[in-house]
């Protein structure tokens, strides 16, 4: 389960704000840790440190070197590409493979662009923004259209020959559509789906699972003699040897035509931008899409598009000055595994679920994660007490991908899976990867019916465990709606239930048709919606129809409902649609009598249209009291709107502040309503102070 975190927490450390180490000894120890983590990374062994921990350590080492230059050794890993690690067989690169400098927020991105334009002594008229793929850099040489050599980045000047494996990567063809002699540089990575396949294959061969798609890609790329193979993918982000005078964006499009997958053909695709506002909007778009791409993106890369600008900007020994990476927070973190519980789902599937010491991943607090299945749990060799890697990829339920074996407590015991179904005591069917209770749906039905009948839900007197067992065993009831089809003769025929008790039960069941929506919702046993949340949902939406029509964003308007809870609830409601329709057909109450505020008069957020849908709002330029674009977007969402990066005919409102650029002109051109930033600040202050009437007046004036 996850809950939202105030914005900003859990973000990576910006080197400019990092604290130097207090002593030379502590600094040297940090350098050793950096070298070891980088060696593990480049050798394709599993994650030794999560990305943010690595970046934080590196940031502190760099800060220490600035404060105490005398402590800095000549071979400091902070200045070496890949922290100075050289794996296996080496072949020289045609030109050094450099890295990129990182920035972590809008302000540093603006500073970077300003510095570049100062160095060039003119504004950069075209930048490109593209996803930063989370994999391994390779250089692929084509000779007269044939792929002849693929090298890893290695030390930057020497790389390892991985041609035999890389040639299998989707997107890196063995033959180009035209006989060109070029060198393509790009990222080899593993999609989330292929990562799961890779781990199934790997654990099936008795090897520990990979903790992250990046380590899976690294391992697969270098695994020459393994009996299994998992698919790799490739996307190019640079090319040498195509028309020299072309821009980066044109070169990528041309390369795509030759049959190579590139950042211009992938989704989200490379965009050409003018000025920092457009860059920021494109970065925000990549950040928003991040969770739904099906592959890892750990940032966005900004580059000067024109070759003249790149040549003039040049490079340091480590990174070019014409490009920069905006890093997103890591999607994998480590934390302690507190307990493993066994859950039986509605359809009888039995799953191990981990309870974790809370950890923030990409701004979301994660306290539990799936361990998939018992085979996987055993193969992954995960134990209670272990420090484990937890990965959260977008909307997918957080998962434990592995344990840090060198940090395992001495007394940690392997987990013992249950012998019988923990819910109903039936045998467990272990013939498939997902174990099932042989009670199947009946096991789930028992649990659901028992919950439906509890006092805090529909409160059905006389419907106890024994009768539920009988009803399910006789096939009379499979879901709560079936209860309303029971009649006295059928009940009276059951063992131990006479006509009188049968009659009472039928009456008790019929009596629940009047119960409010909040009780019914509680009774349906929606995951992540217990009694309190069900009540809040019922009060907020007022009717089942309104609740079923709500988007996850609208569900989040309910107190205590964050992103993941909203998505889970929406998914559960969709799954329960059939039962809900059956219940409605049987005359159950589908409304909440004391919905507060009642649905028609629900507090209307200022940036809502009359039909309740959110206004599309673009904030351009500075807003008094707000630090950056992110805060502007958050304010829009707080006010009930949807923040958008670009102005189009669909935009409802453009907030224009100092330093706004072409967007204000575009809004005027399209006739989109403009609100001065200081009015917007007043509007926000009124809303945050609880005075939405005043907020509405500001908007109306």
- Give the DSSP letter of residue 425: -
Cβ-contact 673, 636 below 8 angstroms:
no
Of 72, 111, 132, 663, which residue is the catalytic one?
A: 132
Contacts of 17 by beta carbon, 8 Å cutoff, 6+ apart: none
> Residues 62, 137, 258, 266: which binds ligand IVH (CB under 6 A)?
137
Find the binder of ligand IVH among 291, 320, 571, 661 (CB under 6 A). 320
Residue identified by tokens 């502590």 is 26
Its sign, for the CA torsion 247, 249, 251, 253, is negative
The answer on whether 237 is annotated among ligand-binding residues is: no
The residue of the chain with the least Cβ separation from ligand IVH equals 137
From the list 249-257, 287-295, 320-328, 653-661, the region that binds ligand IVH by CB under 6 A is 320-328
DSSP, collapsed to helix, strand or coil, labels residue 343 as strand
Minimum CB distance to ligand IVH, residue 669 (Å): 33
In angstroms, what is the minimal distance from the CB of 236 to ligand IVH? 9
Among 124, 188, 301, 443, binds ligand IVH (CB under 6 A): 301
Is the Cβ of residue 98 or residue 470 nearer to ligand IVH in the bound state?
Answer: 98
Q: In the complex with ligand IVH, which residue's Cβ is closer, 99 or 385?
A: 99
**Residue 111 is among the residues annotated as catalytic for this protein:** no
Helix (H) or strand (E) holding 29: helix 24-42
Q: Count other C-beta atoms under 10 Å from residue 536's C-beta.
A: 17
331 annotated among ligand-binding-site residues = no
Closest to ligand IVH by CB, 320 or 385: 320
C-alpha closest to that of 298 among 136, 177, 453: 136
Minimum Å gap between C-beta 275 and ligand IVH is: 20
- C-alpha closest to that of 557 among 644, 652, 638, 642: 638
Contact flag: residue 132 with ligand IVH (CB under 6 A): yes
Span between the terminal Cα atoms of the chain, in Å: 43
Distance CA 650, CA 672 (A): 9
Give the residue with the Cβ less far from ligand IVH, 79 or 682.
79
**Residue 330 or 488 with smaller CB distance to ligand IVH:** 330
153 is an annotated ligand-binding site residue: yes
Residues 70-129 that bind ligand IVH (CB under 6 A): 98-100
Nearest by Cα to 329 from 471, 38, 132: 132
Among 10, 44, 173, 323, binds ligand IVH (CB under 6 A): 323
CB of 135 to ligand IVH, least distance (A): 7
Query: Of 600-619, which residues contact ligand IVH (CB under 6 A)?
Result: none
DSSP H or E stretch at residue 442: helix 440-453
The least CB distance from residue 323 to ligand IVH, in Å, is: 6
Q: Is the peptide bond before 582 cis (omega within 30 degrees of 0)?
A: no
Q: Is 504 annotated as a binding residue?
A: no
- Cα 131 to Cα 110: distance, rounded to the nearest angstrom: 18
- DSSP 3-state assignment of 598? coil
- Taken in order 361, 363, 368, 372, the sign of the CA dihedral is negative
* 8 A C-beta contact, residue 40 and residue 404: no
187 is in an annotated binding site: yes
Strand, helix or coil for residue 544: helix
Site for ligand IVH in 533-562 (CB under 6 A): none
The smaller minimum CB distance to ligand IVH, of residues 323 and 525, is found at 323
Q: What is the smallest separation between the CB atom of 18 and ligand IVH, expressed in angstroms?
A: 18
360, two tokens? 């923030």
**DSSP states of 274-330 as a string?**
-HHHHHHHHHHHHHHHGGGSSB-EEEEEEEE-SHHHHHHH-B-SSSBSSEEEEEPPP
233 forms beta bridges with 170, 189
Q: Which residue has the tokens 């690294």?
A: 218
Residue 54 annotated in ligand binding: yes
- Report the residue number, 103 or 488, with the smaller CB distance to ligand IVH: 103
Check residue 139 for interaction with ligand IVH (CB under 6 A). Answer: no
Is 130 annotated as ligand-binding? yes
Sequence-ordered list of residues with C-beta below 8 angstroms from that of 600, at least 6 positions apart, any chain:
none
Is residue 263 close enough to count as binding ligand IVH by CB under 6 A?
yes
Give the closest residue to 106 by CA, choosing from 410, 326, 338, 344.
326
CA-nearest of 241, 222, 242 to 232 is: 222
Say if residue 597 is preceded by a cis peptide, omega within 30 of 0.
yes
Single out the segment in contact with ligand IVH by CB under 6 A; choices: 83-91, 212-220, 278-286, 318-326: 318-326
Residues in 149-168 that interact with ligand IVH by CB under 6 A: none
Among the listed residues 37, 124, 133, 595, the single contact to ligand IVH using CB under 6 A: 133
Q: Is 424 annotated as a binding residue?
A: yes
- Per CB under 6 A, the list member of 33, 55, 65, 130 interacting with ligand IVH is 130
Residue with tokens 């890993």: 77
Residue 325 as a binder of ligand IVH (CB under 6 A): the answer is yes
372: contact with ligand IVH by CB under 6 A: no
Q: In angstroms, what is the minimal distance from the CB of 234 to ligand IVH?
A: 11
Q: 405 with 399: CB under 8 angstroms?
A: no
Name the residue nearer to ligand IVH (CB basis): 98 or 367: 98
Q: Which is nearer to ligand IVH, 277 or 298 (CB)?
A: 298
Judged by CB under 6 A, the number of residues near ligand IVH is 15
CB of 145 to ligand IVH, least distance (A): 24
DSSP notation for 392-414? --TTSPPEEEEE-GGG--TT---
Query: Which C-beta is closer to ligand IVH: that of 187 or that of 254?
Result: 187
∠ CA 642-646-648, nearest 5°, is: 90
The reply, when asked if residue 303 is annotated as ligand binding, is yes
Residue 557: CB minimum distance to ligand IVH, A: 36
Provide the annotated active-site residues.
Answer: 132
- Chain contacts with ligand IVH (rule: CB under 6 A): 98-100, 130, 132-133, 137, 187, 237-238, 263, 301, 320, 323, 325
**Annotated binding-site residue numbers for Zn(2+):** 421, 424, 443
**Annotated binding-site residue numbers:** 51-55, 130, 153, 187, 303, 327, 421, 424, 443
């Amino acid at each position: 389960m996850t809950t939202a975190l105030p914005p900003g927490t859990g973000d990576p450390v910006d080197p400019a704000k990092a604290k130097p180490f207090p002593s030379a000894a502590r600094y040297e120890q940090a350098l050793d840790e950096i070298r070891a983590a980088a060696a593990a990374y480049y050798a394709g062994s599993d994650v030794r440190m999560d990305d943010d921990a690595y970046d934080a350590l590196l940031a502190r080492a760099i800060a220490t070197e600035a404060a105490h230059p005398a402590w800095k050794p000549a071979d400091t890993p902070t200045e070496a590409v890949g922290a100075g690690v050289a794996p296996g067989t080496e072949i020289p690169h045609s030109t050094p493979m450099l890295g990129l400098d990182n920035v972590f927020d809008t302000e540093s991105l603006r500073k970077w662009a300003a510095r570049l334009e100062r160095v060039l002594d003119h504004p950069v008229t075209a930048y490109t923004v593209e996803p930063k793929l989370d994999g391994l850099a390779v250089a692929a040489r084509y000779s007269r259209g044939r792929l002849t050599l693929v090298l890893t980045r290695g030390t930057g000047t020497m790389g390892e020959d991985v041609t035999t494996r890389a040639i299998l990567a989707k997107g890196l063809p063995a033959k180009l559509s035209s006989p060109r002699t070029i060198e393509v540089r790009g990222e080899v990575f593993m999609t989330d789906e292929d990562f799961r396949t890779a781990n199934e294959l790997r654990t099936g061969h008795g090897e520990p699972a990979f903790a992250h798609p990046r380590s899976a890609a690294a391992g697969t790329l270098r695994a020459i003699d393994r009996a299994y193979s998992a698919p790799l993918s490739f996307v190019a982000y640079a090319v040498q040897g195509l028309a020299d005078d072309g821009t980066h964006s044109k070169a990528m499009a041309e390369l795509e035509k030759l049959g190579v997958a590139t950042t211009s053909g992938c989704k989200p695709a490379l965009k050409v931008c003018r000025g920092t506002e457009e860059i920021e909007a494109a970065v925000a778009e990549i950040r928003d899409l991040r969770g739904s791409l099906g592959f890892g993106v750990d940032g966005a890369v900004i580059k000067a598009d024109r070759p003249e600008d790149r040549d003039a900007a040049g490079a340091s020994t480590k990174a070019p000055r014409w490009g920069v990476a905006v890093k997103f927070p890591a999607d994998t973190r480590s934390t302690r595994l507190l307990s493993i519980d066994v859950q039986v789902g509605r359809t009888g599937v039995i799953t191990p679920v981990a309870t974790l010491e809370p950890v923030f991943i990409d701004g979301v607090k994660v306290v539990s994660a799936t361990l998939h299945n018992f085979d996987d749990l055993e193969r992954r060799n995960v134990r209670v007490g272990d420090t484990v890697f937890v990965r959260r990829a977008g909307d997918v339920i957080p998962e434990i991908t592995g344990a840090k074996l060198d940090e395992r407590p001495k007394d940690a015991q392997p987990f013992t899976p249950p012998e019988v179904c923990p819910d109903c005591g039936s045998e467990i069917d272990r013939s498939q990867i997902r174990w099932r209770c042989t009670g199947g749906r009946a096991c789930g039905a028992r649990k659901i019916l028992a919950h439906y009948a509890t006092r805090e839900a529909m409160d059905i007197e006389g419907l106890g465990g024994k009768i539920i067992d009988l009803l399910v065993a006789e096939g009379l009831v499979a879901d709560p709606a079936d209860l309303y089809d029971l009649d006295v003769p059928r009940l009276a025929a059951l063992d131990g239930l006479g006509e009188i008790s049968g009659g009472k039960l039928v009456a008790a069941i019929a009596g629940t048709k009047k119960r409010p929506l909040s009780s019914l919702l509680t009774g349906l046993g929606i995951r992540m919606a217990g009694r309190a949340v069900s009540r809040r949902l019922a009060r907020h939406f007022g009717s089942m129809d309104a609740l079923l029509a709500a988007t996850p964003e609208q569900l989040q308007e309910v107190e205590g409902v964050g992103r993941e809870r909203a998505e889970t609830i929406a998914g559960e409601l969709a799954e329960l649609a059939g039962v809900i329709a059956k219940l409605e057909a049987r005359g159950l109450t589908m409304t909440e009598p004391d919905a507060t505020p009642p649905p028609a008069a629900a507090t209307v957020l200022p940036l809502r249209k009359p039909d309740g849908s959110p206004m599309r709002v673009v904030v351009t330029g500075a807003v008094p009291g707000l630090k950056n674009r992110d805060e502007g977007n958050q304010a829009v969402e707080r006010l009930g709107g949807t923040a958008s990066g670009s102005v189009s005919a669909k935009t409802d409102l453009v907030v224009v502040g100092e330093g706004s650029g072409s967007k204000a002109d575009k809004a005027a051109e399209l006739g989109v309503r403009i609100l001065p930033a200081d009015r917007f600040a007043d509007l926000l202050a009124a809303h945050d102070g609880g005075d939405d009437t005043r907020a509405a007046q500001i908007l109306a004036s």
